[in-house]
Structure 1
Amino acid sequence: MKIYLVRHGETVWNVENRIQGHLDSPVTEAGIRQISALCRDLADKSITLIVASPLGRSVTAAGQITSWLDCPLQFEPAFVERHFGEFEGKRLAELTEKERVQAVAMLSGSSDIGPQNGEALQDATRRVLSALSGLSSGQGNICVVSHGHVIQSVISTLSGNNAEHFERYAHINGAYSVLACTEKGLTVEKWGVATHLFFRHTQ
């Protein structure tokens, strides 16, 4: 079995460079097009189940994928984005100098640094990895729709690096990674696949 780990389409706050976390903002027209292109790329991947974060931007992407692939859809709270606490909804430019230092440390991948009323990266990573390891479709592959920060951290961890090295594993909106489920656990086959976002499909 393989897991296709998908990041949702672009949102208004992605464009504005605002920290989203557990908050939401509308998906842009570009975000809708990104997931449409993704759907075409996933069409021949033998996916039989979609499992998604229940946050709005993920629900939107999962709905598109479900309609295109004609697969059942389930929601899993463990796949939500990392909780960024008091920084959610803010841009770095809006923070005080002290807040900016804290936010940069948090966003740079320091795994044990958690924002006030938020979640440390190592905890978010453990949460998502546990949910991925518990997936079973019986037959066929699974598409999981989640969020950028936690996807990058999971890929970094599974690739043998510490979670704080996650920045090297860029995962843009509408991109996906491929995980193989073996007897020894999850392994990364591909990460950050995004070629479908840059080539026009002809009918």
Structure 2
Amino acid sequence: MRHAKTVMNIEGRWQGINDSDIPEESLRHFEERIRFLAGKNIKAIYSSCLVRSIKSATVAASILGIDHIETVRGFNERDLGLMEGKTNDEIREKFGITDIYIASRAIESIPMVEPWPKFVGRVMATLQAFSGRDGSLVITHGGVMRAIYNTLTGSNERRVIFDNGYILKLEFSGSWRISEIIGQ
């Protein structure tokens, strides 16, 4: 599940591994999304190590009655280097990049951006370690969800958007598969 909407999300700024506050209105919307999961047999909550995910996971744990959250570095967002904190217009102007989206290989020319294949490898290795953890809720990021989606579907579909609070429901039976996208 993607974390609650942050100030930088609202402003249209790329966050990467940086964090920003989550407004109260965004937390209330996220709480509504979490209430949807009540009674769905969530046994454990995991979070990326980034503050926006931990704060969102804390809200989820409170609502779902889970007393422990484990952070997992492998589910951190893609490091976006010098494009973090900038809008698409600022990125176009400063770096001359026009193909700007989370899975873009073009943004790798921007200093310190984590290469997409390395990011995907990290995310998928982390996901593989979750193959025996039925009933887990992972609070993570849009880029992580995109990496999983692209890998499991074998596509680079950009029209499927993982907005804040969206859920990518996965099932494991010998291999991972997407069973549902909740929130579209």
Same-fold status (TM-score > 0.5): yes
Question: 1:94-147 deviations in whole A, cap 9, x for unaligned?
Answer: 34635141xx43526334852311212222122111111101565x41001110
Match of 1:199 in 2: none
**Which of 85, 90, 100 does residue 94 from structure 1 map onto?**
90
TM-score normalised to structure 2 length: 0.90
**Which of 146, 151, 154 does residue 145 from structure 2 map onto?**
151
Matches of 2:106 and 2:129 in 1, distance apart? 24
Unaligned runs of 5+ in 1: 1-5, 196-203
> Which piece of structure 1 moves more, 21-30 or 152-161?
152-161
**SS of residue matched to 1:105:** coil
Match of 1:170 in 2: 161
Determine whether 1:37 maps to 2:32.
yes
1:106-121 equivalences in 2 (<5 Å): 106-107=100-101, 109-111=103-105, 114=108, 115-121=110-116
Matches of 1:128 and 1:73 in 2, distance apart? 19
1:34 CA drift (Å): 2.3
Given that 2:88 and 2:100 are in contact with CA atoms closer than 8 Å, whether structure 1 keeps it comes out as no
Unaligned runs of 5+ in 2: none
Match of 1:9 in 2: 4
1:155 CA drift (Å): 0.9
Matches of 2:5 and 2:95 in 1, distance apart? 26
Given that 2:49 and 2:71 are in contact with CA atoms closer than 8 Å, whether structure 1 keeps it comes out as yes
Given that 1:48 and 1:137 are in contact with CA atoms closer than 8 Å, whether structure 2 keeps it comes out as no
Given that 1:113 and 1:121 are in contact with CA atoms closer than 8 Å, whether structure 2 keeps it comes out as no
**Which of 53, 71, 79 does residue 58 from structure 1 map onto?**
53
Match of 1:188 in 2: 178
Counterpart of 2:72 in structure 1: which amino acid? E
> Which piece of structure 1 moves more, 52-61 or 63-72?
63-72
Q: Give % identity.
A: 30
**Which of 138, 142, 148 does residue 136 from structure 2 map onto?**
142
Match of 1:85 in 2: 81
Counterpart of 1:156 in structure 2: which amino acid? N
Determine whether 1:123 maps to 2:113.
no
RMSD: 2.0
**SS of residue matched to 1:34:** helix
Matches of 2:111 and 2:50 in 1, distance apart? 21
**SS of residue matched to 2:53:** helix
From the superposition, tell whether residues 94 and 187 of structure 1 become closer, same or farther in structure 2 (CA, over 3 Å).
same
From the superposition, tell whether residues 166 and 23 of structure 1 become closer, same or farther in structure 2 (CA, over 3 Å).
farther
Counterpart of 1:146 in structure 2: which amino acid? T
TM-score normalised to structure 1 length: 0.82
Question: 1:141-171 deviations in whole A, cap 9, x for unaligned?
Answer: 100111012212311221122xxx1422211
Given that 1:9 and 1:30 are in contact with CA atoms closer than 8 Å, whether structure 2 keeps it comes out as no
